[in-house]
Chains A and B, each alone.
Chain A
Amino acid sequence: MSTDTTFGKIINHPQYAELVRRRKRLAWLLAGSTLGVFFSFVLIIAFSPKILAIPVSATGVTTIAVPIGVAMIFFFWILTGIYVRRASRDFDGLTDQIVREALK
């Protein structure tokens, strides 16, 4: 098993720490935005739901809760798209390079 030497080479690779740091920052930023938006919404519902009952226009019945709910679904999906895109653009090549050099 060359696992131990591979592991050592990876962890000492000059770019490994940068890979980990950048990916963690992106992941926690997006996870924080998701949870932040979602739980703010839950707390608004719990403490002052009246805000969400305001109609979108003076003449209609549709409340702002409707577009906000729909927008949240799109927002979460777009965040997953951003992660997938950023990860394949910024991290996959770098990971592959680090692993290849470590396995040499």
Chain B
Amino acid sequence: MKELPRKFIAGALLVACTGLAFAAPESKGQTANIPAIAMFLLFVGITLGITYWAAKRTKTASDYYAAGGGITGTQNGFAIAGDLLSAATLLGISSLIFAKGYDGFLYCLCLIVAFPMILFIMAERLRNLGKYTFADVTSFRLSQRPVRTTAAISSLTVVIFYLIAQMVGAGQVIKLLFGIEYWIAVVIVGVLMVIYVTFGGMLATTWVQIVKAVLLITGGTIMALLAFAQFGFSFETLASKAVAVHKDGIKILAPGVMFADPVSAVSLALGMVFGTAGLPHILMRFFTVPNAVESRKSAFVATGLMGFFFLMIGLIGLSAVVLVGTNPQYFEGGTIGGKLIGGGNMPSMHLAHAVGGNLLLGFMAAVAFATILAVVSGLALAGASAISHDIYANAIMRGTATEQQEIRVSKTASLGLGILAVILGILFEKHNLAFLSGLTLGIAASANFPVLILSMYWKGLTTRGAVLCGLAGLISALALVVCSKAVWVTVLGNPTALFPYEQPALFSMPLAFFIAWLASVLDNSESAARERDAFEAQDVLAETGYYRNPLAQH
């Protein structure tokens, strides 16, 4: 077994190299970007090195799921920021700003609010109550089997939808930036993801995320400053030039149509804030630090890094309006205002070229690829942990499985998730997946967040309440998205939507809370009484984390 990691890692490097080297010249219409490929291979080399190093240090379940609790607050802050700063943020939000101006920036504001909220009401309690997954917290004083199974189902739903969105985005971006076939790109992402997760566990996944976060923030800052320099570092100069050339003129500097409908605006904001606070791969990161003090620090660092990066993204998007939007070389057929080469997601990449030439474009392309890899790895690990820790070890084996068995199941699960992600990524290549981000955040906000917050703060929550709350949130969020325009009309081809709004959270979240309350207060069983009684002890642990005190270790 010892030899296995090294062989696999060497093999993977080979796959990545040959995939890129041979596929590149074949594809039509795209020129392979040599600096991009070189820098990407360097990143893959470094991350596989990290994985090899991490594999030797990953022995126990705690190592595998939580990096042995040995990540510092600052490191974890970078990793958390990295999880949220996905390719969707780098490419998607900057292109929204490019197209709609200020409305795109509003997404940044919604995302960042989640972290103060996590810090004030969740971070320390998560660390004090949980071990590896957030279901450790929700099932703390409740019946293990039903509560963990429900949590695992909603976690897996979120992880799989999120993975599909990342995979399809990955395939399209990589195809474009590296000039390789879509399916090859998806397979490379899948293979590397499985290697990081199965061999390196949380330690490798965290460090891959940290390396990527540093690269992304550095690259984004360089790009933003180079672009800003062209306007003499004056926001007013940049803004007036952008207003002069953008088809919407002055409107791009104020909130516009995207948040015009109050119901949709509030629903979107709720979904983004509390959905982010209910994402299983983000919550899992709070278990990688040794104590509540470091847990706090990670939320502080993550908020700062994200805030800084979002300011850079704002500059990038607005600069692109001027520097990309008026340059015929970035439009198909050279028609300014027509279709951007490579599609609507490309303004930030074109801007990298415009301000830093092929070298910066290559660097940012490699960073985009790295971003996708790091984010899918975190997702795969969260999904695999839900299967192995919640379903296998606790719900099926009722805590009798050995750590080695549990880790083996987790590794198999991550392989399975990798294969599934590749297959689904290839199947959904041509589909319009715009609804996926609303769906994943909607489910996380409605199925994960209410159970988590109630289990930590409300004495009255019972097993029945927690299970029905999770199911109500999951089913209502799913059903509302299916009935919304993005799926009912765009995907299924019906004439009008059954649910008039795009975002489910405003309806599904209160429903989940209400069901939790109703089912809990109506629960007069003996076990429910015991669960209510157990709250006080849980609360003392949540407040103090006393079992972590060195004096309590015997």
Contact = CB atoms under 8 A, between A and B. Distances in A.
Contact of A99 (B236, B304, B544): B544
Interface in A48-67: 49, 52-53, 60-63, 65-66
Contact of B269 (A23, A38, A74, A104): A38
B1 interface: no
B303 A76 contact: yes
Nearest to B251: A53
8 contacts: A28-B121, A46-B260, A46-B265, A53-B254, A73-B109, A76-B112, A77-B303, A95-B545
A71 B551 CA distance: 45
A90 interface: no
B262 A47 contact: yes
Contact of B296 (A3, A53, A73, A83): A83
B117 A87 contact: no
B297 A65 contact: no
Interface string B211-252: 000000000000000000000000110011001000000110
Interface string B89-107: 0000000000000100110
- Top 7 closest pairs, chain A to chain B, by CB: A46-B262, A53-B254, A31-B120, A103-B551, A73-B307, A46-B265, A45-B255
A96 B548 CA distance: 11
Given A38-B109, A46-B260, A84 B300 contact: yes
B117 A34 contact: yes
Given A27-B120, A66-B253, 13 more contacts: A19-B543, A28-B120, A31-B117, A34-B117, A39-B269, A43-B266, A46-B260, A49-B255, A70-B311, A73-B108, A77-B307, A80-B300, A104-B551
Interface of A: 2-4, 6-7, 10-11, 16, 19-20, 23, 27-28, 30-31, 34-35, 38-39, 41-43, 45-47, 49, 52-53, 60-63, 65-66, 69-70, 72-74, 76-77, 79-81, 83-84, 87-88, 92, 95-96, 98-100, 102-104
B536 A11 contact: yes
What does DSSP make chain B's interface, helix, strand, loop or mixed? helix
B53 interface: no
B8 interface: no
B4 to A, nearest CB: 40
A49 B120 contact: no
B303 A84 contact: no
B330 interface: no
A82 B549 CA distance: 25
Contacts of B115: 76, 80
B526 interface: no
A49 B254 contact: yes
B279 interface: no
B460 interface: no
Contact of B116 (A16, A20, A30, A47): A30
A65 B101 CA distance: 11
A33 B185 CA distance: 45
B119 interface: yes
Nearest to A96: B549
B293 A92 contact: yes
Nearest to A27: B120
A70 B106 CA distance: 11
A67 B235 CA distance: 11
B269 A42 contact: yes
Contacts of B117: 31, 34-35
A42 B297 CA distance: 28
Contacts of B262: 43, 46-47
Given A31-B121, A73-B307, A49 B266 contact: no
Interface in B291-330: 293, 296-297, 299-300, 303-304, 307, 310-311, 314
B546 A41 contact: no
B253 A53 contact: yes
A60 B236 contact: yes
Nearest to B554: A2
B296 A65 contact: no
A74 to B, nearest CB: 7
